[in-house]
Structure 1
Amino acid sequence: MNRVVSFVDEQEVVALTRELVRIPSVYRPGCPDGNEERVANYVADLLREMGLTVIYEEVVPGRPNVIAYYDSGRPGKTLLFEAHTDVVTEGDRDSWSYDPFGACIERGRIYGRGSCDTKGNLAAAICAVKAIQRSQIAFAGKILLCIPCDEEGMMIGIKDFIRRGWADGVDAAIICEPEENQLCITQKGAMRAILRTYGKMAHGAMPLTGINPNTRMARAIVALEELEKKEMARLGKHPMLGWPSITPTILQAPVKGDAQINVVPDQCMTTLDIRTVPGQDHGVLCREMEAILERLAQQDPHFKALLEVIEERPWTLTSEQEDVVQAVAQSYREITKKEPVYNGVPGATDGTFLHKAGIPILTTGAGDRHIPHHADEYVDIDELVETTQLFALSALAYLQKT
């Protein structure tokens, strides 16, 4: 089985990574060259050339999922590799030392937006399947590739994949994300919420003729900070994920219209990026936030607020004893001659929803976990090749257990 490692072609995985990075796939509404469609078409054509069965499904116009499978022809389990096509914006190009979509190679690294998160890992998954094909090593079951859009946004791609029933027959999934080839068996949950406080417009010279939503928002934010501290004290620092958090991010007043220094606005809005760890119940946390607003309203008859949760992603935890974790750990030892490092994902991935669908997940892949979304994003070529080997050997290790 270990022979499959020798069929991994370094030049092939480097070339494919560079081709994918050179296709900008930042989602920009209304921009025909600014979404995932071009890179999805490229990948779909490549997978067809490999002889895989390929399904191309538009989630919304211009934003497709690519799904492909390599079937052994023998009954067995289904292992999913998942890697998204979208990347975040390059931001200010002047802050880059390299063309963000040039895929320059320097000092053993490929530079460019998405090289680390996660086009390098997408290339590794595809090239791992190629290595298995070349090796002609027998296995049972099938390898399923899910290459969705919109992981960096509201994750509509993976939600559509699950909604259409593709996840129903999956036994385990490897989420291909930049984790330095560490075996991430847990990840933080996330809740995205909008908090609004309401007031009454007034002249800044006569503020008592109105109701100031900003001071009410300030009280709410301070109270939410106290809730955060309470949760931190209750749960402690998670050994792999760190601290839970409740973070106000955007603060805006007025919400509509132009702001003026001498006008008390009628409304204030903040967004909350809430990150949870095992041991937290999202429903309980929501009720505690609502209770804070109720208490503030009892203290102030003019306090009026509305909390709206717009997205929820549960935390995940996979046992080290799961077959997929055991297979990747075994493969890591074979390739590196080292013990694997177990860790957690500080953010949320598409794996969140696969876990929610009942699929054991493991997140791993090439790339410094602190580099995604930075200027001069890069992936080390040596690590990328190791990842390709790890994916190929892990697939066989898992599927030969069937």
Structure 2
Amino acid sequence: MEPGIVERVLRYVDAELLVELTRSLIRIDSVYRPERGTGEAGVARYVTELLEAWGFSVRVEEAAPGRPNVLAELCGTREGKTLLFEAHSDVVTEGDASLWTYPPFEGVVVDNRIYGRGACDTKGNLAAAMVALKAIKDAAADFGGRILLAVPVDEEGLMIGIKKMIESGWCNEVDGAIICEPEENQLCIAQKGALRIGIRAHGKMAHGAIPRAGINPITPVCRMVARLAELERSEGAHHGEDPLVGWPSITPTIFLAPPSGEPQINVIPNQAYVTLDVRTTPRQDHGFLKEAVLNIAREEADKVPGLRVETAVIDDRPCTYTPPDDPVVQAAAEAVRLVTGREPQYNGVPGATDGTFLWAWKGIPIVTFGAGKREVPHQVDEYVDIPELIETARLYAAAAMIFLSTRR
């Protein structure tokens, strides 16, 4: 690596641009709500136009109608490794906007913080990656290989964006990936696995005053949920707390009865539907858990004559782990030392990210880090601290140069 190149690149990290870019991204409502006409397309269009204006090569491909992925490329002066930055374009719903102190899609700055949906998850980190790549380009840094910036859709859903990128071959030559997520700039080298399971109980509609004329699906589904809480406790006692990703969990997240149509207080619904968000640690067996959930559902359904139950695995994502001595983790660690003067802190992601599929489907080593407190995403008054965000952009720029300076 050219002597002093990292320090020169860091001088080109534009803090003012970073703040304004983050605010601009927040102002684009990218919650996927086709009924309202919102989604990731606005962010994709804005990012594409800006990156092209900065001189990057950009490709766009729809993962689904109206849901475009973006991939930008910066090539070095010679052959070498490929580093991928990944930051998704979608955000979760703001919920009840009246509960927010500041409007969720305005990117308000108060007391050195940027407020808004996506401020830390992950539009601030997307902006940090863009500014880091621009700094490398503007500094005319001499490096081998290439840097890719992936901006996929639907990370907050079923991750169809990153799946499409992988299927299309966009990630075939990647040697390491930095996943841009809010982790307080701790280097996360492990991620929890995830199982999403739906349970649907079919009963018989009847008058609430004459319950024996129907088959009420609500009570057996409630018993299933109670037994799943016991399963969660049993799994926790058996496997314990993982040092990086914490405790396993089985969390009911949606309960609908009836799942469609209008509910009424004096009507027994014909169906009840519950979804489970199961988060696993490396020692757990997904096959065992799927079978355990199925058995609980069947056993409780068998206690109610005429009740029929269906279970469906909606998504299955493995745990991931990248060793601390992997080159992409080492590059991130050296960047932390160089930029902050601190020793890196290692941790694990409490959920799954798009990096799950890069690791599981393509064997790409990943490290996840970025600005933002871990507890803040998906909450009212989401924010990111500006000094930490600037630090993140500098870390991304330094990590890229360090990673690309080493041989395959």
Instruction: Give the TM-score of the pair, scaled to structure 1.
Output: 0.95
Task: Tell me the SS of whatever aligns to 1:401.
Answer: coil
Contact 2:120-2:371 at 8 Å conserved across structures: yes
Q: Which residue of 2 aligns with 1:369?
A: 374
**Which residue pairs with 1:309 in the alignment?**
313
Whether the 8 Å contact between 2:57 and 2:72 is mirrored in structure 1 is yes
Q: CA offsets, 1:285-324, max 9 Å, x none? A: 1112222234445555545321111122222111111110
Tell me the equivalent position of 2:215. Answer: 211
Residue 240, structure 1, aligned to residue 244, structure 2: yes
1:225 aligns with 2:229: yes
Query: What is the alpha-carbon distance in structure 2 between the residues aligned to residue 300 and residue 376 of structure 1?
Result: 45
In the other structure, the counterpart of 2:137 is: 133
CA contact (8 A) 1:100 1:112 kept: yes
Q: In the TM superposition, what whole-angstrom CA distance separates every residue of 1:55-103 from its partner, at most 9, and x where no partner exists? A: 0112222211110110113111110000111122222222222232222
The reply to whether residue 176 of structure 1 matches residue 180 of structure 2 is: yes
1:136 is paired with a residue of what secondary structure?
Answer: coil
What secondary structure does 2:11 align onto?
A: helix
Aligned equivalents of 2:364 and 2:133: distance in 1? 21
- Matched residues in 2 for 1:283 and 1:236: separation? 19
8 Å Cα contact 2:87/2:125 also seen in 1:
yes
For 2:402, the equivalent position in structure 1 comes to: 397
2:120 counterpart of 1:119: no
1:97 corresponds to which residue? 101
> What letter matches 1:122 in structure 2?
L
Shift of 1:164: 0.5
CA 1:321/1:259 → structure 2, altered by over 3 Å: closer, same or farther? same
- Does 2:154 align with 1:150? yes
Q: Distance in 2 between matches of 1:300 and 1:91?
A: 37
Deviates more, 1:155-164 or 1:1-10: 1-10
Contact 1:67 1:146 in 2 (8 A): yes
- Kindly indicate whether residue 55 of structure 2 is the aligned counterpart of residue 75 of structure 1: no
Contact 1:121 1:365 in 2 (8 A): yes
* Aligned counterpart, 1:60: 64
For the residue of structure 2 that corresponds to 1:284, the secondary structure is: helix
Q: Give the 3-state SS of the residue equivalent to 1:141 in structure 2.
A: strand
1-side partners of 2:157 and 2:95: how far apart? 16
Deviation per CA, 1:173-201: give whole Å up to 9, x if none. 10001111010111111111110122233
SS in 1 for 2:73: strand
Q: Is the 8 A contact 2:220 2:301 kept in 1?
A: no
- Determine if contact 2:77/2:142 at 8 Å carries over to the other structure: no
Residues in 1 aligned to 2:226 and 2:398: alpha-carbon distance in whole angstroms: 51
Q: Which letter does structure 2 place at the counterpart of 1:132?
A: I
Q: For residues 266 and 148 of structure 2, what CA distance do their matches in structure 1 show?
A: 60
Deviation at 1:2, TM superposition (A): 3.0
RMSD: 1.8
Cα distance in 1, alignment partners of residues 285 and 57 from structure 2:
40
Give the SS at the match of 1:75. strand
Contact 1:255-1:267 at 8 Å conserved across structures: yes
Paired residues, number:
401
Task: Give the letter aligned to residue 387 of structure 2.
Answer: D
Q: Name the SS of the counterpart of 1:269 in structure 2.
A: strand
Output the amino acid matched with 1:163. E
| Counterpart for residue 42 of structure 2 | 38
- Tell me whether 1:20 sits opposite 2:25 in the alignment: yes
Aligned to 1:269: 273
What secondary structure, in the 3-state scheme, does the structure 2 residue paired with 1:80 have?
Answer: strand
Residue 362 of structure 2 is aligned to residue 335 of structure 1: no
Secondary structure of 1:85's match? coil
Supply the distance in 1 between the matched residues of 2:133 and 2:260 (Cα, whole angstroms).
52
C-alpha distance in 2 between matches for 1:210 and 1:19: 54
Matching residue within 387, 393, 399 for 1:382: 387
1:187 aligns with 2:213: no
Per the alignment, residue 292 of structure 2 pairs with: 288
Q: Distance in 1 between matches of 2:92 and 2:266?
A: 38
Bigger shift: residues 264-273 or 139-148: 264-273
The 3 A distance-change label for structure 1 pair 198 and 49 is same
Match of 1:321 in 2: 325
Which stretch shows the higher mean deviation, 311-320 or 295-304?
295-304
* 2:183 and 2:371 in contact (8 A); partners too: yes
In 2, Cα distance between equivalents of 1:395 and 1:138: 12
**Which residue does the alignment assign to 1:51?**
55
Write the letter of the residue equivalent to 1:376: D
Whether contact under 8 Å (2:126, 2:180) holds in the other structure is yes
Pair 330,248 (structure 1): closer, same or farther in 2 beyond 3 Å: same
Whole-angstrom distance in 1 between the partners of 2:151 and 2:261: 41
Q: Which amino acid aligns with 1:88?
A: V
Amino acid at match of 1:186: A
Deviates more, 1:180-189 or 1:286-295: 286-295
Distance 1:48 1:145 in 2: 13
Residue ranges of structure 2 left out of the alignment (5+ in a row):
none
Q: CA deviation at 1:255?
A: 3.0
- Secondary structure at the aligned position of 1:76 is classed as strand
Matches of 2:13 and 2:337 in 1, distance apart? 17
1:181-232: CA deviation from partner (whole Å, max 9, x where unpaired)? 0101111111111101222333434333433222221222222222111111
Match of 2:16 among 8, 11, 18: 11
SS state of the match for residue 393, structure 2? Answer: helix
The answer to whether the 8 Å contact 1:296/1:303 transfers is no
